[in-house]
Structure 1
Amino acid sequence: MRILVVCGAGASSTFVAQRLRHAARARDLSYSSSAGTLRSLEIDLDATDVLLLGPHLKAERDNIAASAASKGVTVAVLPDDIFGDLDGSRTLALVHSAIGVAQGETAPTHASAKKEPE
């Protein structure tokens, strides 16, 4: 599964993406996570299954989600305190919640997890 973490400039999203990658690896999940910016979002969506928006982008979620939905990308907004998630486990739980994986279930590990547009 390909996860994109987006904030305004890409700095804080880099930390979240790294921690998320470590948490997925610790659970033997072959997820990739990367950081992005709003400027590159339209291009980055083509290679994304789940998009995590920085908390400060909450007001823009609906507009971004409309664009992402046309590409089958699931969108979630990170909570305000996500930067305190030092091991990435809360962020990983948010990803699983966004894609509908209940706690204890096996999560999809590849691009086939991408939801089809409605």
Structure 2
Amino acid sequence: MRILVVCGAGASSTFVALRLRRAAASAGLAVTASAGAEPSLAIDLDSADVVLVGPHLGRSLEEIQALAAPRGVRVVLLPDDIFTDHDGSRALALVTSVAASDVGSATAETA
């Protein structure tokens, strides 16, 4: 599974992606996770199965979902406290729950 973690400039998403990769490796899951920024999202979506959207981009969620839907990419809005997920386990749980569901997009509360 290919995961794109998106934030405004790509800095905070780098930490989430790194932690997510570590958690997936520890769980023995075939997951790639990369960081991206909102301005390059239209291009980066082509290499993702799931997009994790930083909580500070909640205002752009509908726009991101509209870009992702035609590509079959699932979108998850991360919770406000995701940056306290130091081992990546919560982010991984969100990704696996969305991947297992038939829902095209979700928020952290529904995933």
Q: TM-score, normalised by structure 2?
A: 0.88
Amino acid aligned to 2:45: L
Match for residue 42 of structure 1? 42
Name the SS of the counterpart of 1:86 in structure 2.
coil
Match for residue 54 of structure 1? 54
Residue 67, structure 1, aligned to residue 67, structure 2: yes
Segments of 5+ residues of structure 2 without an aligned counterpart are 105-111
Q: TM-score, normalised by structure 1?
A: 0.83
CA deviation after TM superposition for structure 1 residue 85, in Å: 0.2
Structure scoring higher RCO (CA < 8 A, sep ≥ 6) equals: 1
1:33-52 Cα distance to aligned partner (Å, 9 max, x none): 00000111111100100000
Match for residue 100 of structure 2? 100
Q: CA RMSD in A?
A: 1.1
Match for residue 17 of structure 1? 17
Structure with the largest fraction of helix: 2
Match for residue 28 of structure 1? 28
Moved >6 Å (runs of 4+): none
Amino acid aligned to 2:70: S
1:6-63 Cα distance to aligned partner (Å, 9 max, x none): 0000000000000000000001111000000011111110010000000011121111
- Paired with 2:74 and 2:82, the residues of 1 have a C-alpha distance of 18
